[in-house]
Amino acid sequence: MNLSALWQSPFFGIGLTALTYFAGAQLLKRRRIPFLTPFLISVLLVCLLLGITGIPYESYNEGGSLISEFMAPATVILALPVYRQRELLKRNLLPVVGGIFLGVLCSYFSTFLLSLLFGVRGELFLSLLPHSVTTPIATALSGQIGGVSSLTILGLMISGNLGAMLLPLMRKLFRVHDPVAHGVATGNCSHVIGTATVAAEGEVEGAFSGLSIGVAGLITVLLVPLLLKGVSL
Amino acid sequence: MKLIRQLGLLALILFVSEGAVQLFSLPIPANVLGMVLLFVLLCTGVVKEDDIRETADFFYQNMAFFLVPVTCGLLVEAGQLGGSALAFILIALVSTVAVYLVTGRAVLLLQKLPRKGARR
């Protein structure tokens, strides 16, 4: 009897993800542990299990990929919180767009300067450059400028996850108390993971975070020709 | 039935968005276009809040769940970096903090600019 095929059942992947996520939520129900979220707990438990049992990621991903497909509708529905907050958006249009634009510029300049400082060059640098925009745009951009898309996704995930973990700290440290500003800043630096994190805090934060992902993406796309010129220098 | 209808609506929006992106070679991803499309549909009243609320709330409350499998896959890939791993992580981290700082403070600053109507 060949058991390895059993681990390729989509229900293994789906069940494992759902149950570990639920376990994480239960654990954190009564006490807040800094930096931990059900998401992080789920990721750690899944990786731990796969590592210990030696079940290949591909088998897990038979179910995992089905879950991943639903990242798309999860992004689309962000339109509803934005719609509900449209009055607030109208009143804050310039601050929002201006803030995102400056943040996008900051992303490229800071990545460039830091890479110079740490001696990260070539493909690695190019892959790291788009780490502040959402995955599909980042990988497309990376391809255009000569990066490696899997490394770009890695950089993105690091930004997204570490950024999300540091959100409460950064908010306090940089005194970004206004929910609109916090939401916009979150979406810009930590995209979907950040949005998912602030969604728990309120609709304003979540709405503006989601909006920020979209706007930052659009701005990035528009800036690409300039970026390409800069990169070729 | 409500959930099925709402899922169907979301699927339709995404399908149309994917089609538009391919057909017109748009530089934005289908899910972002879908978000814009849904926003327009809500604003114009073609889609009412009631038509997606339950499903939207479900996805909104549990967004991070859908990111778990992809993130797990990343840890598998992480080995590629080798020696540059530390530098890579540090750059991503510091840059991310910088982006948060600049974006957040910029929004706050711009909100203080005088213009007609109250800030909130």
Q: Name the one residue in this structure whose structure tokens are 């060059």.
A: A121
| pLDDT > 60? residue B99 | yes
A55: contact with B, CB 8 A cutoff: no
Token code pair at residue A24: 């994480």
Nearest CA in chain B to A118: B87
The CA distance from B7 to B1, in Å, is 10
Question: Which pLDDT band holds residue B115 (cuts at 50, 70, 90)?
Answer: low
Spatial separation of the C-alpha atoms in residues B117 and B92, rounded to whole Å: 39
Distance CA A66, CA A63 (A): 5
Beta-carbon contacts of residue A105 (< 8 Å; ≥ 6 apart): none
Per residue in B14-43, pLDDT (tens digit) is 999 999 999 998 888 888 899 999 999 999
**DSSP at B51:** G
Does A153 lie at the interface with B, CB-CB under 8 angstroms? yes
ipTM: 0.86
How far is residue B48 from each of residues A4, A12, A207, B31, B41, measured CA to CA in Å?
Answer: 47, 37, 18, 20, 8
Q: What percent of chain B has pLDDT over 90?
A: 60
Residue A42 contacts B where some CB pair is shorter than 8 Å? yes
| pLDDT for position A231 | 63
The answer to whether the CB atoms of B99 and A128 lie below 8 A apart is no
Structure tokens at A199: 């969604």
Which of B32, B47, B52 is the best mutation test for A, with the most CBs of A within 10 A? B32
Q: At A151, which amino acid appears?
A: L
Q: Are A182 and B104 in contact (CB under 8 A)?
A: yes
Residue B118: pLDDT over 80: no
* pLDDT for A37: 86
Contact assignment for A42 to B88 by CB distance below 8 Å: no
Chain A residue numbers touching B70 (CB-CB < 8 A)? 64, 68, 71, 157
Positions of E strands within A110-155? none
How much of chain B, in percent, has pLDDT values that exceed 70? 92
Q: Which of A205, A174, A175, A181 is nearest to A92 (CA)?
A: A181
Which positions in chain A touch B12 (Cβ < 8 Å)?
none
pLDDT in tens, chain A (233 residues): 567 788 999 999 999 999 999 999 999 888 878 778 899 999 999 999 998 998 999 999 999 999 999 999 998 999 999 999 999 999 999 999 999 999 999 999 999 999 988 888 888 888 888 888 888 888 888 887 888 888 888 888 889 989 999 999 999 999 999 999 999 999 999 998 999 989 888 889 999 999 999 899 888 888 877 766 766 55
Token pair for residue A8?
Answer: 């390729």
If one counts every other C-beta atom within 10 angstroms of the C-beta of residue B26, the result is 14
Strands (E), A104-199: none
In this prediction, residue A29 carries a pLDDT of 85
pLDDT of residue A200: 82
Q: What is the pLDDT of residues B64-91, one digit of tens each?
A: 999 999 888 887 777 666 777 888 889 9
Shortest distance, CA A11 to any CA of chain B (angstroms): 13
**C-alpha–C-alpha distance, residues A51 and B105, integer Å:** 42
Nearest CA-CA distance, residue B41 and chain A, Å: 10
Q: Which region holds residue A119: left if phi is over 0, alpha if psi is between -120 and 50, else beta?
A: left
Q: How far apart are alpha carbons A103 and B116 in whole angstroms?
A: 25
